[in-house]
Amino acid sequence: MELSLLKGEVVLVNAATMEMKNLNIFIVDQDLSVTSRLLVDRFSASPFFRISNWSTSLDEADETMERGKTDIILNIPGNFERDLVQENRAEVQLLVNAINGTVAGIGYSYAASIIGGFNREIITKWYQLPKNVVTLQSISAKPSFWYNPELNYKVFMVPAVLAILITVIGIFLSGLNIVREKELGTIEQINVTPIRKYQFIFGKLVPFLIIGLVELGFGLTIGKILFNIPINGSLFVLFTTASIYLITILGIGLLISTLASTLQQSIFISYFLIMVFMMMSGLFTSVETMPNWAQTINIINPIAYFMKLVRTILLKGSGFRDIYQDIAALVIYGITILSLATWRYRKTV
């Protein structure tokens, strides 16, 4: 299980990324001037773009984009340098393949930023203005990024992937447990014993809780070694929060197991819930940017709570005082789910 967790963490962290690098850009340079080549050089020097082709024909570039061979077309008109010299202004055109909205939006932002930087450089050099004069002409914003100053997407994704992995392990292991007893017939032997229902549920929960915490510790170790993720918060706070979350998610698995009659039913129900909860958890899209109805439904999504908690603890270093509301929600959730699982388990003689 540890090996499967290692493979899952390494693969998912590297695959689940919103970083855009090596975007294919088609250069259409109809000016063929020194200035146009300087602009093209800015794109070739950027790690975000890879010049896939070059031409003087816009039709050729359009055809390439229609075949899906390029993401962005930079069209430099034939009078580019002349307009800069004579009219103090010039235009370039960016054509973006917007089939993938994420790639289109981020790619356009990168390209616009490069063109904006080139524009400021032209103003400084051509008109021989001091750099401070150029700066005074517009508002200069210098961003300072908290908690992830290098904007390393892996730092953002490792805690989320850990949350998903222990969720999958917890809900599937607990979900298959009781229903497997039903299929083998051993549940009848347990039912004739004097053990109470809550004791039975507690006995089924504790081993998987320990396994989940061990897997979390192992995953954190791998994340620190391979990805150097920051651990700014207290490990005691993290594992206490994880214990509460695992009790909740294991309760969901046990509830599914008491409802299902076969392993296939349990697997299908667990898989459905995991997919819905995972896609709405904030793994890729921030919960705050979702529609209001989705944010309302997310109140019953335990993964969304833990996803927020694990990132907050590891990256921000938050303590119990900062996250007590989300912890209280998980506690209420866990008590409710375990009560339902205990009530639903029919102990008959």
Confidence class for position 73, pLDDT limits 50, 70, 90: very high
Nearest to 205 by CA among 260, 257, 157, 154: 257
Q: Which residues contact 302 (CB under 8 A, 6 or more apart)?
A: 245, 248, 249, 252, 277, 330, 333
Q: Are residues 325 and 186 in the same domain?
A: yes
pLDDT per residue over 307-347, tens digit each? Answer: 999 989 998 888 898 899 999 999 999 899 988 888 877 65
Residue 134 near residue 54, CB atoms below 8 Å? no
Quote the pLDDT of residue 11.
60
Whether residue 122 sits in one domain with residue 222: no
pLDDT value at 301 more than 80: yes
Q: How is residue 5 written in tokens?
A: 């967790």
Residue that finishes a domain, picked among 108, 136, 164: 136
* Beta bridge pairs of residue 93: 75
User: Is residue 144 one of the residues assigned to a domain?
Assistant: no
**Residue 26 banded pLDDT, cuts 50, 70, 90:** very high
Domain boundary residue, one of 104, 136, 168: 136
Inside any domain, residue 89: yes
287, two tokens: 């919960």
Which helix or strand (DSSP H or E) is residue 50 part of?
strand 49-55
Tell whether 269 and 314 lie within a shared domain: yes
**What are residue 96's DSSP bridge partners?**
72
Indicate which CATH number applies to the domain containing 66: 3.40.1710.10
Residues 125 and 216 in one domain: no
**Tens of pLDDT along 85-103?**
888 788 888 998 887 777 7
Does 284 have pLDDT greater than 80?
no
Q: Are residues 207 and 322 in the same domain?
A: yes
Neighbours of 271 (CB within 10 A): 14
Question: Do the beta carbons of residue 17 and residue 157 sit within 8 Å?
Answer: yes
Tally of CB atoms within 10 A around 348: 7
Q: Is residue 145 part of a domain?
A: no
pLDDT tier at 9, thresholds 50, 70, 90 = low
Evaluate whether residue 57 is within a structural domain.
yes
Looking only at Cα atoms, what is the longest distance across the chain? 96
Co-location of 251 and 334 in the same domain: yes
Structural domain includes residue 319: yes
Same domain, 170 and 305: yes
Question: Do 118 and 191 sit in the same domain of this protein?
Answer: no
What confidence score (pLDDT) does residue 328 get? 93
Mean pLDDT, all residues of the chain: 82
Domain's final residue, options 136, 163, 179: 136
Domain region containing 280 = 153-344
Whether residues 123 and 163 fall in one domain: no
Q: How many domains does the chain have?
A: 2
- List the structure tokens of 27: 């250069």
Do 30 and 63 share a domain, yes or no? yes
Average pLDDT of the residues in 108-116: 88
User: Is 264 buried (19+), middle (13-18) or exposed (0-12) by CB count in 10 A?
Assistant: exposed
Q: Is residue 248 part of a domain?
A: yes
In a domain, 30, yes or no: yes
Q: Are residues 235 and 321 in the same domain?
A: yes
The answer to whether position 274 is within a domain reads: yes
- 205 shares a domain with 98: no
